[in-house]
Amino acid sequence: MATDSELKIGYQGAPGAFSHRAVKIFAEDLNRLEDVTPVSCKTFDEVFARILSGECSHGVIPLENSSVGSIVANYDLLWKNKVEMVGEIYLPIHHNLIGFSDTDISKLVEVYSHPVALDQCRTFLKELTGAKAVSYWDTSAAAFYVQETGSRTIGAIASEFAAVETGLSILRRNIEDHSGNRTRFGVITLVNGHLPAPPAAPFKMSCVVELAHQPGALANLLRNLAILGVNLTKIESRPIPETPWHYRFFLDIEIPFEEVTDAVTSAIGRLSEAHKILGRYKGWQEPAQ
Amino acid sequence: MATDSELKIGYQGAPGAFSHRAVKIFAEDLNRLEDVTPVSCKTFDEVFARILSGECSHGVIPLENSSVGSIVANYDLLWKNKVEMVGEIYLPIHHNLIGFSDTDISKLVEVYSHPVALDQCRTFLKELTGAKAVSYWDTSAAAFYVQETGSRTIGAIASEFAAVETGLSILRRNIEDHSGNRTRFGVITLVNGHLPAPPAAPFKMSCVVELAHQPGALANLLRNLAILGVNLTKIESRPIPETPWHYRFFLDIEIPFEEVTDAVTSAIGRLSEAHKILGRYKGWQEPAQ
């Protein structure tokens, strides 16, 4: 089991992945950078499984990206598994072409990366007329693959941290189609394994509610939350596959005063058919420049 | 300009793409299959541009997928461009390995497809240990590429319609990781170019509203809609990049009676800072088996 002095934090990807970077930001924020061991996982399911088994104390998972929207697989895993959300991190996403320093870009025959990253760098890839875009399970793992082969005719698309981890060079920086690309990550841990400690108000709370398909069900819930002075920062509906005409809503809300917390959770319970409070945590603050 | 007798309908992808199939379903639904010319476009932007220029009468664009969530790029294009939504189509998404009938799967060295399709077939691709997954701009275009090369050592992942279009064979059927994968498509046309004619109630209406970041803004709007007997079938918040703390909401609602339509649009206008009615259309009905 992970003890309090060693924080093993699971993330999906190889060292240098964007999620790995988010793990480090979380560790810095806790002032525990030295105690933290990031644990590379192949899949999101593996991140959850390692937390449930006690092998990892925490996990860091992507929840939404400004270009591609919500990562619905992780919302579904949050609903299904007994974990708690204890933090959020926003990370700017910049993609880079990575390879050996003496690689000639015009001679590349293959560029490896995660399919979503390939999709976000279409304009750049179109310019590389001689190169095929090859799908790989992770951006940073693609950079490691380039490094292992020693080849000067292949490159990878990954973060600048992947360049550091692999010792490779950035051949072209910020090759994403759209600037301003950001990903929001959630920090998760076992229910009742709350570290950091629950924050004082104001704080954010994430929850999932299931509502009947009838006029006013959602309006009624939101009106009760509004009366309590609660602000909504995200709402998303998802059809529930097993029960047609019922909807699951993912809500992020800002709780302004400690005193309303109980009234908020009780309203959520009373006005929904099923619900799950995913956790309470400090809303993300951009670090001072 | 497209005249009423010839319907040129833009879609993103090569012939045989899922969007192409959705175009045909729309044409069948209109009883105009013979008048319809599907127009293959490279990008979603191109679909919109061809409608705005009058080169196409309609476009069919993917809006949401049950595995990957909303296609936010298209929602942003709907907000920005003067088009109207006049229909919706739900299509089951099945991926297939496609190649020449005498291709030996175990000898494949490369499998081509759209990055999102590659991402949805990870389990199958993992079994193909000798093959690289190569990213291509479209699923069906990948199948055409295989056909043009004549190679027996490459394959494509695409729809069964792509197999028909290319004359290639399905080497392995339904290779997606998760069954029950569905995509919702929207049919768009020029504002005031409404074909099919606006349906009688009950019908669906899609709209976008911008609301101030204050408790109760959304609750107030939804409560007013609920009082009118309107049901919400989708809601999604998107931060507005240029104006922090303001949110754009994409709403799909069901209008039960013609009589409330004006009251609904007036409530949406009155209770939002900005809004756009994307269109009214018949809600999708699963075809009888």
Q: Residue B28 domain-assigned? A: yes
Q: Is the pLDDT of residue B2 over 70?
A: no
Q: Is the pLDDT of residue A273 over 60?
A: yes
Q: Residue B151 domain-assigned? A: yes
- Chain B hits for A42, CB-CB cut-off 8 Å, are none
pLDDT of residue A276: 94
Residue labelled with tokens 């990892």: A56
The arithmetic mean of pLDDT across residues A218-229, rounded, is 90
Query: Do B31 and B153 belong to one domain?
Result: no
pLDDT of residue A56: 96
> Looking at CA atoms only, how far is residue B96 from chain A in angstroms?
17
Query: Do B71 and B185 belong to one domain?
Result: yes
Q: Is the pLDDT of residue B117 over 90?
A: yes
Query: Do A185 and A87 belong to one domain?
Result: yes
A72/B68 CB distance under 8 A: yes
- In the structure encoding, which two tokens stand for residue A268, read together? 């959520």
B215/A225 CB distance under 8 A: yes
Report how many domains make up chain B.
3
B3 is catalytic: no
Q: Which of B118, B215, B223 sits opposite A219 (nearest CB)?
A: B223
Q: Which of A12, A13, A47, A7 is nearest to A27 (CA)?
A: A7
Considering B8-17, B28-37, B173-182, B236-245, the range whose residues carry the highest mean pLDDT is B8-17
A·B CB contacts under 8 A: 124
Query: Do A186 and A51 belong to one domain?
Result: yes
Q: Which of B116, B230, B239 sits opposite A215 (nearest CB)?
A: B230
Diameter over CA atoms, chain B: 64
The arithmetic mean of pLDDT across residues A30-36, rounded, is 88
CB B160 within 8 A of CB B91: no
The arithmetic mean of pLDDT across residues A219-247, rounded, is 83
B134 and chain A in contact, CB less than 8 A: yes
Q: Residue B72 domain-assigned? A: yes
For residue range A43-75, what is the model confidence (pLDDT) as tens digits?
999 999 999 999 999 999 999 988 888 888 898
pLDDT of residue A243: 66
Residue that finishes a domain, picked among B190, B218, B235: B190
Beta sheet of A203-211, edge-to-edge order: A274-281, A203-211, A247-255, A231-239, B231-239, B247-255, B203-211, B274-281
Beta sheet of B169-172, edge-to-edge order: A169-172, A96-99, A154-158, A110-113, A132-135, B132-135, B110-113, B154-158, B96-99, B169-172
Residue of B nearest to A65 (CA): B72
- Chain B hits for A214, CB-CB cut-off 8 Å, are 231
CB B229 within 8 A of CB B253: no
For residue range B231-268, what is the model confidence (pLDDT) as tens digits?
888 999 887 766 666 778 999 999 999 999 999 999 99
Domain that holds residue A151: 96-172
Q: Is the pLDDT of residue A1 over 70?
A: no
Q: Residue B286 domain-assigned? A: no
Query: Do A274 and A209 belong to one domain?
Result: yes
For residue range B76-109, what is the model confidence (pLDDT) as tens digits?
899 999 999 999 999 999 999 999 999 999 999 9
Query: Do B149 and B23 belong to one domain?
Result: no
Catalytic residue among B26, B144, B161, B185: B185
- In the structure encoding, which two tokens stand for residue A229, read together? 């002075």
- In the structure encoding, which two tokens stand for residue A30, read together? 């806790």
Q: Residue A289 domain-assigned? A: no
Query: Do A105 and A72 belong to one domain?
Result: no
Q: Which of A72, A237, A241 sits opposite B234 (nearest CB)?
A: A237
For residue range B185-226, what is the model confidence (pLDDT) as tens digits?
999 999 877 788 888 889 999 999 998 777 788 889 999 998
pLDDT of residue A67: 80
Query: CA-CA distances (angstroms) from residue B11 to A164, A177, B6, B47, B113?
Result: 42, 21, 16, 6, 17
| DSSP code per residue over chain A | ---SSSEEEEEESSTTSHHHHHHHHHHHHTT-GGGEEEEEESSHHHHHHHHHTTS-SEEEEEEEETTTEE-HHHHHHHHHSSEEEEEEEEEE---EEEE-TT--GGG--EEEE-HHHHHHTHHHHHH-TT-EEEE-S-HHHHHHHHHHHT-SSEEEEE-HHHHHHHT-EEEES---SSTT-EEEEEEEEETT--SSPPPPSSEEEEEEEEE-SSTTHHHHHHHHHHHTT-EEEEEEEEE-TTSTT-EEEEEEEEE--GGGHHHHHHHHHHTSSEEEEEEEEPPP-PPP-
- In the structure encoding, which two tokens stand for residue B185, read together? 């498509």
In angstroms, the CA B210 to CA B274 distance is 5
Q: Which of B2, B234, B253, B107 is nearest to A237 (CA)?
A: B234
Query: Do B45 and B186 belong to one domain?
Result: yes
In angstroms, the CA A247 to CA A253 distance is 18
Q: What is the mean pLDDT of chain A?
A: 91
Higher pLDDT pick, A39 / A76: A39
CB B83 within 8 A of CB B188: yes
Q: Which of B120, B125, B10, B11 is nearest to B69 (CA)?
A: B120
pLDDT of residue A213: 72
How high is the ipTM of this complex? 0.82
Q: Is the pLDDT of residue A123 over 60?
A: yes
- In the structure encoding, which two tokens stand for residue B248, read together? 């754009």
> Which CATH number characterizes residue A41's domain?
3.40.190.10
For residue range B138-195, what is the model confidence (pLDDT) as tens digits?
999 999 999 999 999 999 999 999 999 999 999 999 999 888 888 999 999 998 777 8
pLDDT of residue A111: 97
> Which CATH number characterizes residue B241's domain?
3.30.70.260
**Which residue pairs from B237-240 have beta carbons closer than 8 angstroms and sit at least 24 positions apart in sequence?**
B237/A232, B237/A233, B237/A234, B237/A235, B237/A236, B238/B72, B238/B75, B239/A66, B240/B210
Residue that finishes a domain, picked among B190, B218, B248: B190
Q: Residue A287 domain-assigned? A: no
pLDDT of residue B213: 72
Query: Do A160 and A218 belong to one domain?
Result: no
Query: Do A48 and A186 belong to one domain?
Result: yes
Q: Residue B159 domain-assigned? A: yes
Query: Do B46 and B186 belong to one domain?
Result: yes
Q: Minimum mean pLDDT among A5-9, A108-112, A162-166, B146-150: which range?
A: A5-9
Query: Do A82 and A122 belong to one domain?
Result: no
Q: Is the pLDDT of residue B1 over 70?
A: no
Higher pLDDT pick, A266 / A2: A266
Residue of B nearest to A222 (CA): B219
Higher pLDDT pick, A104 / B231: A104
Who contacts A289 (Cβ-Cβ below 8 Å, separation ≥6)? none
Q: Residue A143 domain-assigned? A: yes
